[in-house]
Structure 1
Amino acid sequence: MESKPLILVTNDDGITAPGIRALLEVVQTLGDVVVVAPDSPQSGMGHAITVNDMLHVKKVSPFGADIMAYSCSGTPVDCVKMGVHELIKRKPDLCVSGINHGSNSSINVIYSGTMSAAVEAGIEGIPAIGFSLQDFSWEANFEPAKKYIRSIVQRVLEEGLPSGTVLNVNFPNLPAEAIKGIRICRQAHAYWQEKFDKRLSPFGKEYYWLTGEFINLDKGEDTDEWALAHGFVSIVPVQFDLTAHHAIPVLNRWNFENE
Structure 2
Amino acid sequence: MAKRPLILVTNDDGITAPGIRTLITVMRNIGDVVVVAPDSPQSAMGHAITVNSTLYLEKVNIDGKQPEYSCSGTPADCVKLAVREILERKPDICVSGINHGSNSSINVIYSGTMSAALEAGIEGIPAIGFSLLDYNWNANFEHCKPFVETITRQVLEHGLSDGVVLNVNLPNLKQSDIKGIKICRQARANWVEEFDKRTNPMGRDYYWLAGKFVNLDGGEDTDEWALEHGYVSVVPVQFDLTAHHAIQNLNTWKLND
1:246 maps to what in 2? 245
The percentage of counterpart residues that share the same residue type is: 69
Take 2:185 and 2:35, find their aligned partners in 1: how far apart are those partners?
30
Partner amino acid for 2:232?
V
1:67-90 Cα offsets, whole Å, 9 max, x none, are: 100000000000000001101111
- Matched residue, 2:140: 141
User: What is the deviation of 1:205?
Assistant: 1.6
Q: Report whether the alignment pairs 1:168 with 2:167.
A: yes
Residue 212 of structure 1 and its aligned partner are, at CA, apart by 1.1
Aligned ranges for residues 58-73 of structure 1 at < 5 Å?
A: 58-62=58-62, 64-73=63-72
Q: Secondary structure at the match of 1:107?
A: helix
The correspondence of residues 70-219 of structure 1 with structure 2, limited to 5 A, is: 70-219=69-218
| RMSD over equivalenced CA pairs, Å | 0.8
Distance in 2 (CA, whole Å) between partners of 1:107 and 1:65 is 37
Unaligned 5+ residue runs, structure 1? Answer: none
- TM-score between the two structures when normalised by the length of structure 1: 0.98
Shift of 1:66: 2.4
Q: Distance in 2 between matches of 1:65 and 1:35?
A: 12
Per-residue Cα deviation, 1:189-238 (whole angstroms, up to 9, x for no partner): 00111111101113322101111111100010000000000000000000
Count, aligned residues: 257
Task: Provide the residue aligned with 1:35 in structure 2.
Answer: 35
Paired amino acid for 1:208: Y
1:17-28 equivalences in 2 (<5 Å): 17-28=17-28
Distance in 1 (CA, whole Å) between partners of 2:88 and 2:189 is 41
Q: What is the CA-CA distance between 1:178 and the residue it aligns to?
A: 0.7
Gaps of 5+ in 2: none
Deviation of the 1:65 alpha carbon: 1.9
The 4+ residue runs of structure 1 with deviation greater than 6 A are: none
